[in-house]
Amino acid sequence: MATGVWGAFQRPASARITLKSDGTAHVASATSDIGPRTYTVMTSIAAEYLGLPAEKVKFELGDTKLPAAPVQGGSFTTASVGTAIYESAQNIRRKLLALANKDVASPFKTAKIEEVEMLDGKLQIKDDSSRSINISELMRRNNLSELVDIHEAKPSPEREKYATGAHGAQFVEVKVDPDVGTIHVTRAIEVSACGKIMNPKTSHSQEIGGVVWGIGMALQEATEIDHRYGRIMNPNLQHYHVPVNADILEIETIFVEEDDKIVNPLGVKGMGELGMVGIPAAIANAVFHATGKRIRELPITPDKLL
């Protein structure tokens, strides 16, 4: 077994929400999607806090003309851009409450902003859904075809008082052929504590990918350099080895959810890199247990065991 730690990072990021009177929303940020399904999770966050079905929210990214966002890396996109979308949705809620309270018969006259929510296309009191108003009707009554909010979210000063991180524990089983030194990871269990899990299905898939990364790092992947000329000798997938289906057997991922609002209002922590951090160390420990040989240089190839 081994353990892994990854920082719960957040970077300044901006988002724009355009809530339309037809009950749809357009959300935009100049972030990118290199594979972790940024489109999906940002749509989900916007839909949840605008009180709309996901199919009525369109999220746009990948254009520098959109509100600024950081590079995608370090496992901080959801915490950074997601927080901007969350806080922008709160601003939209404040604008709607102010519009509603222009009416002398408003059901929200005595309500504080934190007592009001957006749900199913309505602005309503959280614990009394009978005190509500249809958002589309409210906007049309005020001759508004859309409400727009552009917001930049930054890490809170409260974070500076703490060390923030996501944590994991990894358990692996390996089988080593004593004659030829080949290693197979026959079972891997990845347990992660990385805040609120926004989408369990895609998050489990991402953690499985992290385990595969770790197996590749531990057993196969190495950049071979000719130091006489500074030339990389294996710059392609013919000679740079990565795991394939036959290398991957049983993988199980488990999340221990946390409620940590110090890291950011959503309580999310990065999990992309966390899934691989402890896997190579766990494999090295398992190889030591199987063979008695402590290998301290990756990848652990047969020549280092024989």
pLDDT in tens, 59-111: 999 999 999 999 988 889 999 999 999 999 999 999 999 999 988 888 898 88
Average pLDDT over residues 166-174: 96
Mean pLDDT of the chain: 94
Q: 9-155: which CATH topology?
A: Aldehyde Oxidoreductase; domain 4 (3.30.365)
pLDDT at 91: 96
Collect all residues with Cβ–Cβ distance below 8 Å to 130 and sequence separation of at least 6: none
Name the 3-class secondary structure at 266. coil
pTM for the model: 0.88
Q: Residue 144 has which token pair?
A: 């508004």
DSSP states of 20-58: ETTS-EEEE-S---SSS-HHHHHHHHHHHHHT--GGGEE
DSSP sequence for 81-137: HHHHHHHHHHHHHHHHHHHHTTSTT-TTTT--GGGEEEETTEEEETTEEEEEEEHHH
* CA-based nearest residue to 198, from 36, 33, 41, 29: 41
pLDDT at residue 235 is higher than 90:
yes
Predicted confidence at residue 55, as pLDDT, reads 96
The one catalytic residue in 55, 152, 273, 297 is: 273
Query: Which CA distances in Å does 297 have to 44, 173, 214?
Result: 42, 19, 14
Q: Do domains 9-155 and 167-305 have the same CATH topology?
A: yes
> What pLDDT is stored for residue 103 in this prediction?
87
Residue 305: pLDDT band by 50, 70, 90 thresholds?
very high
Q: Report whether pLDDT(129) > 90.
A: no
Its CATH architecture, for the domain 167-305, is 2-Layer Sandwich (3.30)
pLDDT tens readout for residues 20-69: 999 999 999 999 998 878 999 999 999 999 999 999 999 999 999 999 99
Tokens coding 303: 């020549």
As given in the structure block, the two tokens for residue 200 are 């369990």
Closest by CA position to 192, among listed 256, 250, 251, 252: 256
User: What is the secondary structure of 168-224 as a DSSP string?
Assistant: EEEEEEEEE-TTT--EEEEEEEEEEE-B--S-HHHHHHHHHHHHHHHHHHHHT----
Across residues 226-235, what is the average pLDDT?
Answer: 96
Q: What is the mean pLDDT of residues 153-181?
A: 95
Query: Is-catalytic flag, 158?
Result: no
- The full set of domain ranges for the chain reads 9-155, 167-305
Nearest CA-CA partner of 165 in 84, 78, 75: 75
Opening angle at CA 215, ends 209 and 221, nearest 5: 105
Residue 301: the pLDDT is 96
State the average pLDDT over residues 231-249: 95
